Amino acid sequence: MGTFQKKVIFEGVATALITPFHAGGVDYDTFGRLIDWQIAGGADALVICGTTGEASTLTDEEHRECIRYSVERAAGRVTIIAGTGSNDTDYAISLSRYACEVGCDGLLLVTPYYNKATPKGLIRSFTAVADATDKPIILYNVPSRTGVNIPMSVYTELAKHERIVAVKEASGNLSAIATIAAELSDTLAIYSGNDDQIVPIMSLGGRGVISVLSNVMPKETHDMCRYMLEGDVKSAAALQLKMLSLINALFIEVNPVPVKTACAMMGLSSEEMRLPLCEMEEANRAKLAEAMRRNGLL
């Protein structure tokens, strides 16, 4: 492994923050309280308008306002990363430019979903956004949602861009992630995109996690990452395994349905979400509540 040549956006846990709704609109009062609570709880960064933030059902106006509001509310206390990827590259550029203008610290760009671009198309799309903006970029590989996996050849090419600095890997494929770590450790920082793989990915040199779990357990998720960064694998693994039942329960239905339900159970926000997402099945809700009780959240 060489020496990392680019600025690292964050180390530790970035909470992929939920977007709270009330009466059909974004509830900014609650959003502000969640941002403050996350910072107090030890989150190292916040991802705004990611998958967990229901970005795909936000209007353009809401998407922009959530980013602007979060930068203003955080007021430099924590790193703000804006989810600005799209299956329309021109729209991703527009959104990314806006996020940079209002002062976000970095961008999270998901692979264009539904279109299923070729490797050449992925390189051109991500490069177009990187060329049009001035903040560091994290690529987001989540084939289970987008229908396309970022191959190693694409990572190798994109890693040459000065502003493409990291990848959020949610493929679940540890062998592929190990290859990224082996070949691109000096140009692409790796973040776990799966809460059940924080310790394994960080053991390969990952810098942290972009997390759903930390919506409800920010301190413990931060601590797990901190232990790994300090080389205390035993303590980190103990936390990973202690919280595993909760992590699994948070994905018992499609994210962010369970985590939004959990936040509501904890009195952090309303349970309201937008179709096509809807309330949990009762049996799954009971399993989630049980896992939360086991972790001292209820």
Q: Which residues are catalytic?
A: 140, 168
Please state at what angle helix 218-229 crosses helix 28-41, rounded to 10 degrees: 40
Report how far residue 263's alpha carbon sits from residue 192's, in angstroms, rounded to the nearest whole number: 22
Alpha-helical segments (H) within 47-88:
60-74
Are 48 and 66 a contacting pair, CB within 8 Å? yes
Chain centroid offset of residue 219 CA: 16
Enumerate the β-bridge partners of residue 110.
140
What three-state secondary structure class fits 281? Answer: coil
Of all helices (H) and strands (E), which one includes residue 253? Answer: none
**3-state secondary structure string, 207-234?**
CEEEECHHHCCHHHHHHHHHHHHCCCHH
283-288: long-range pairs with CB below 8 Å, 24+: 284/252, 284/253, 284/258, 285/261, 287/249, 287/252, 288/249, 288/250, 288/252, 288/258, 288/261, 288/262
Report how far residue 26's alpha carbon sits from residue 187's, in angstroms, rounded to the nearest whole number: 37
